[in-house]
Structure 1
Amino acid sequence: MIRVKSTLAVLGAATLLGASGLAQAGATLDAVKSKGFVQCGVSDGLPGFSYTDAKGEYKGIDVDICRAVAAAVFGDASKVKYSPLTAKERFTALQSGEVDMLSRNTTWTSSRDAAMGLNFTGVTYYDGQGFLVNKAVGVSSAKELDGATVC
């Protein structure tokens, strides 16, 4: 019986937390609609993701996501303004309301999800790291590079 009560308590808390997140999202959406545009935090100078072209216009996949949100909210992809943010500025800008959303290189972690109270959407870019060596060197594992100079 205690286990059932504990389970119900956890489920109830999760439901309340979820509902508060929806209420917060609704308030943000209402504020965005009221001002008539989406204020989108982006990186600057990250080709392919978010950068300004020779005409000073923002381009890249992160910018396209901002435009897609504006199109979904307003039926007009141009109803967006961009705020270039550094990695240090991004979360403060989001939490303070300076921007309505971030569309930039930001990893999704449990601490950012929970402790910072952020709502993440689906992952839009997967990356990885590796080593490339000349086949003639005969290396088959990164462990074999112990002591080697890597540039």
Structure 2
Amino acid sequence: MRFLKTASLSIASVALLASVSTADTLDSVKKKGVLNCGVSTGIAGFSATDSSGQWKGLDVDMCKAVASAVFGDPSKVKYVALTAKERFTALQSGEIDLLSRSTTWTNTRDTSLGLNFAGVNY
């Protein structure tokens, strides 16, 4: 399954894209040797680059945690900065393996995008 971690003012959720199996995504990530993680183009405290160009924030930390779980190494992440318009297409197309950026949880997204918001973390 493709993974979507979302955040919006008071809601952050993990959602699963139902069209692809979890094992396929995990196998693909392991073969590539890197987790392609979609983040915002810059929201302070969530995902933004610092003065040295390093990604920082809660959404970035989620990407690092998944990379740590998969590879035992939090640096095995490629960050892909995405706008709100690009985020779902990137996830659905397989350009990214995990989406960790601000997104509101709506019934329309649950039904029309094939996403299942499963938990709140912010």
Which TM class, normalised by the smaller chain length? 0.7 to 0.9
Q: 2:33: which partner in 1?
A: 36
Q: Are 2:116 and 1:95 aligned?
A: no
Q: Give the structure with the larger strand fraction.
A: 2
Q: Are 2:30 and 1:27 aligned?
A: no
- Structure 1 residues 99 and 23, CA, compared in 2 at 3 Å: closer, same or farther? closer
* Partner AA of 1:117 in structure 2: G
The one of the two structures with greater contact order (alpha-carbon pairs below 8 A, sep at least 6) is: 2
Structure 1 unaligned spans of 5+:
1-20, 126-151
Q: Are 2:84 and 1:105 aligned?
A: no
Bigger-Rg structure (1/2): 1
- TM-score normalised by L of structure 2: 0.79
Q: 2:60: which partner in 1?
A: 63
- Structure 1 residues 22 and 90, CA, compared in 2 at 3 Å: closer, same or farther? closer
Aligned-CA RMSD value: 1.6
Structure 2 unaligned spans of 5+:
1-17
Q: 1:83: which partner in 2?
A: 80
- Structure 1 residues 57 and 89, CA, compared in 2 at 3 Å: closer, same or farther? same
- TM-score normalised by L of structure 1: 0.64
Q: Give the structure with the larger helix fraction.
A: 1
CA positional deviation for 1:22: 9.2
Matches of 2:31 and 2:82, distance apart in 1: 24
Q: How many residue pairs align between the two structures?
A: 105
* Partner AA of 2:38 in structure 1: G
Which residue among 90, 115, 118 is the counterpart of 1:118? 115
Query: What secondary structure sits across from 1:63 in the alignment?
Result: helix
Q: Which runs of 4+ in 1 moved over 4 A?
A: none
Matches of 2:29 and 2:95, distance apart in 1: 12
